[in-house]
Amino acid sequence: DAMVIQNPRYQVTQFGKPVTLSCSQTLNHNVMYWYQQKSSQAPKLLFHYYDKDFNNEADTPDNFQSRRPNTSFCFLDIRSPGLGDAAMYLCATRAENQPQHFGDGTRLSIL
Amino acid sequence: KQEVTQIPAALSVPEGENLVLNCSFTDSAIYNLQWFRQDPGKGLTSLLLIQSSQREQTSGRLNASLDKSSGRSTLYIAASQPGDSATYLCAVPNDSWGKLQFGAGTQVVVTP
């Protein structure tokens, strides 16, 4: 049973057209993370939530925003996608002192 | 700043051989270390989590060791199978929030 669910699995958008990626969890974990993974590279943390407290990484571009309306859902908004934003976007959750659980990711392509 | 390195970047072994994957980190003050598997185009599957107080952790054919003083962890996969072909990543939390710093991974191919 999938515990961290990301939709859609594949997303294609146009250069500059806003796009939203979604993540939901059935684990009731209080921490949620968004990572960006480019081809053959390690995942890179964009931001995380501890409950509703939002924490942005210093080098995350302003183009990337996030919303967490409740414990179960978290969204990644890319306001004006550029070609360099094409990547796999991974959502993860965690309870304190427990392993992180990842979703299957959303692969974003920019035309 | 914590840096995580995985060597080799790629590894190919015949079926049945044992796999040894290496992970090193620069700051030994870690909370834990986690090993993941990633299949092409997929997300990450957690394999093992070793707490900082532990020396090793085992799950089936997988065994992970941790030596904090030398900044190293090793993942052993016994009697490899073609289904073990994947990229294996190690990661350590940067802080108490659990923000992970990943290595670039070791791509493993097990040939029948």
What is the per-residue pLDDT across A83-111, written as a single tens digit (0 to 9) for each?
Answer: 999 999 999 999 877 888 999 999 999 99
CA distance A94 to A75: 16
Q: Minimum mean pLDDT among B20-34, B35-49, B55-69, B91-105: which range?
A: B91-105
Count of C-beta atoms within a 10 Å radius of residue B51: 12
pLDDT at A2 over 80: no
Mutation site, B7, B42, B51, interface A, largest A CB count within 10 A: B42
How is residue A111 annotated by DSSP? -
Residues B76-112: tens digit of each pLDDT: 999 999 999 999 999 998 777 778 999 999 999 999 9
CA distance B82 to B72: 27
Residue with tokens 């990644």: A76
Q: Is A7 on the interface with B (CB under 8 A)?
A: no
Residues A22-38: tens digit of each pLDDT: 999 999 999 999 999 99
Please give the residue of chain A at the shortest CA–CA distance from B5: A42
Query: A73 CA to chain B: closest CA distance, Å?
Result: 18
CA distance B36 to B49: 9
Q: CA torsion sign, B101 to B27 to B98 to A67? A: negative
Question: What is the average pLDDT across B50-64?
Answer: 95
Please give the residue of chain B at the shortest CA–CA distance from A40: B104
CA distance B36 to B15: 21
State the pLDDT at residue A98. 81
**What percent of chain B has a predicted confidence (pLDDT) above 70?**
100
Nearest neighbour of B97 by CB, restricted to A31, A43, A44: A31
Question: Cβ distance B35 to B75 under 8 Å?
Answer: yes
Top-confidence residue, B97 or A13:
A13
Set of chain B residues whose Cβ sits within 8 Å of the Cβ of A33: 98-100
Query: B4 CA to chain A: closest CA distance, Å?
Result: 10
The DSSP bridge partners found for residue B57 are B64
Q: How confident is the model at residue A40 (pLDDT cuts 50, 70, 90)?
A: confident
Half-sphere exposure (Cβ direction) of A41: Cα atoms closer than 13 Å: 13
- Give the Å distances, CA to CA, from B1 to A104, B28, B47, B58: 29, 11, 25, 29
Query: B42 CA to chain A: closest CA distance, Å?
Result: 5
Q: A7: Cβ–Cβ under 8 A, 6 or more apart, which residues?
A: A21, A22, A23, A24, A106
Nearest neighbour of A101 by CB, restricted to B4, B32, B46: B46
State the pLDDT at residue A1. 62
Count the residues in chain B. Answer: 112
Residue with tokens 């989590």: B49
pLDDT at A6 over 90: yes
The per-residue pLDDT of chain B, averaged, comes to 94
Task: Convert A45-76 to b/e letters by CB count within 10 Å (16 or more is b).
Answer: bbbbbeeeeeeeeeebeeebbbebeebbebbb
The DSSP bridge partners found for residue B93 are B100
Q: Minimum mean pLDDT among B1-10, B34-43, B92-101: which range?
A: B92-101
Mutation site, A102, A106, A107, A108, interface B, largest B CB count within 10 A: A102
The DSSP bridge partners found for residue B22 are B7, B74
pLDDT at A20 over 80: yes
